[in-house]
Chain A
């Protein structure tokens, strides 16, 4: 369950999502089939069978947490080069044929998944899935195709740096989990020109395997979807061009730029004292470890964003997940009335608005990944008022964690139910749930579980949160934002 702050982090990547016109069944009618190439396929039958728009999404467990430390920025480049020369189709043919047929192809990356979505009229889905299959299994990453896509990376980065919320969000993860989940979805500045085709192909071979891919289709029948996805041969099986690269270990680390590109001699690997390479390759597969710390980024905007978090809970742990949701709703999630001010029943928001005369606002955040999470609050506002705002928010946070009233819990349960209800209204979210978690979002069962959460559960979760080390990140006009140690 993601709050607005982290939801914008999901949506920032390309994707005008027109979605499906017909509603999607919400629960059990869904069958997950595993094909011969280990790809999981789910086709959702529409209630309204006369719908004319279908959508096929490939959810691949190849988000930015799977980048090794030398390979950072690979997922951003994957997003940028998605529509560029794949297999037998050139980039021109791909874009033009999808456009002319009335379709829409988009790529999104979250920390855990890469999502390729193609939408279009139902009778075109055969061709579209073929194009998508070519992009996934036969991409070409030669320099001249890649360099013509670099402008996308640079444009994304320019838009990202100006947005304090996103900068603070990414830096929060970097401070909290240094390696896996700390990897930002955006390419770091230092890697902008140096992501080369060896890195991209190795990332695909390692992480775009059959067992990592889940295909979710709506507006298309199960049998047809299987027919298109079955012949896909994933890269780790059939990519002959890089087989000789695989035998050369230096190609995987890409420290050695082979003689044809650079005229200077590069020392042999045995001559140089390098840290054991094998450890770096294990990092993406390790579970996320929470460290904690602080990162501050100053830039010349007039506003600032400060995010404070402690270790939270993963979305696989359902009781704690709902307890954390309730606690988040007690803290408050911004202002719920349009053009409202002051925060009303949201504790954080009203405290911060009072302390700074409505120049700042605050919200509770609750971020969940498959094996870890973050729980805390975020404050944003004009730079000069940040100190008062952050101190007020911190006070409310500490008070709420130690003293939970049952009246608050009842109100929070209703807010949580309505938040889940709004989330489930959007078909894109439902498909996202199926594709990333493997099971559909069942609202009725969820509401029953929410009713069963007691005050002891929430108090236990609050104690766990209090005991964990803290993380903080701030971005923007941070001259008057307190340092993490001042808040402890």
Chain B
């Protein structure tokens, strides 16, 4: 694949960061322009989290997913300049998902302890 033909560039920011970056570009989704939180499965918890993020984030996420679908169906990738970089990839859904999980767990523990 085109991504694997390039040489990996070691950035001067520590070993764990470079390891993370190497694994990131080994996965396929940055070449389609997706972020990590776009790859989450659709569960009820995710649906509740989607109600809590801002409108900008939601619309950007929808655009990215739609673009990635089109690219995947046509069996092409984005050019290398437009791949998502690790620094640009923000985890916008994870805090909300964790908070929702905590709330559900609290309720469940209360029901169990009754």
Contact = CB atoms under 8 A, between A and B. Distances in A.
B61 to A, nearest CB: 13
B103 to A, nearest CB: 6
A261 B52 CA distance: 12
A260 interface: yes
16 contacts: A90-B103, A92-B106, A92-B110, A96-B110, A142-B52, A143-B52, A144-B52, A259-B56, A260-B55, A260-B56, A260-B57, A261-B54, A261-B55, A262-B55, A263-B55, A263-B59
Contacts of A259: 56
A93 B54 CA distance: 26
Interface of B: 51-52, 54-57, 59, 102-103, 106-107, 110
Contacts of B59: 263
B52 A93 contact: no
Q: Which of A96, A260, A261 has the most CB of B within 10 A?
A: A260
Interface of A: 90, 92-93, 96, 142-144, 259-263
Give the 10 A-B residue pairs with the shortest CB-CB distance, closest first: A260-B54, A260-B56, A144-B52, A261-B55, A260-B55, A90-B103, A92-B106, A93-B106, A92-B107, A96-B110
A251 to B, nearest CB: 15
Contacts of A263: 55, 59
Contacts of A261: 54-55
A280 B47 CA distance: 41
Nearest to B48: A144
A143 B52 CA distance: 8
Contacts of B52: 142-144
Contacts of B55: 260-263
A144 B56 CA distance: 17
Contacts of A260: 54-57
A238 to B, nearest CB: 21
B56 A92 contact: no
B103 A92 contact: yes
Contacts of B102: 90
Nearest to A259: B56
A93 B113 CA distance: 13
Nearest to B57: A260
A273 B8 CA distance: 56
Contacts of B110: 92, 96
B9 to A, nearest CB: 34
Given A96-B110, A260-B57, A144 B103 contact: no
A92 to B, nearest CB: 6
A262 B54 CA distance: 10
Given A92-B103, A260-B54, 18 more contacts: A90-B102, A90-B103, A90-B106, A92-B106, A92-B107, A92-B110, A93-B106, A142-B52, A143-B52, A144-B51, A259-B56, A260-B55, A260-B56, A261-B54, A261-B55, A262-B55, A263-B55, A263-B59
A264 to B, nearest CB: 12
Nearest to B102: A90
A140 B51 CA distance: 17
Nearest to B96: A144
Contacts of B103: 90, 92
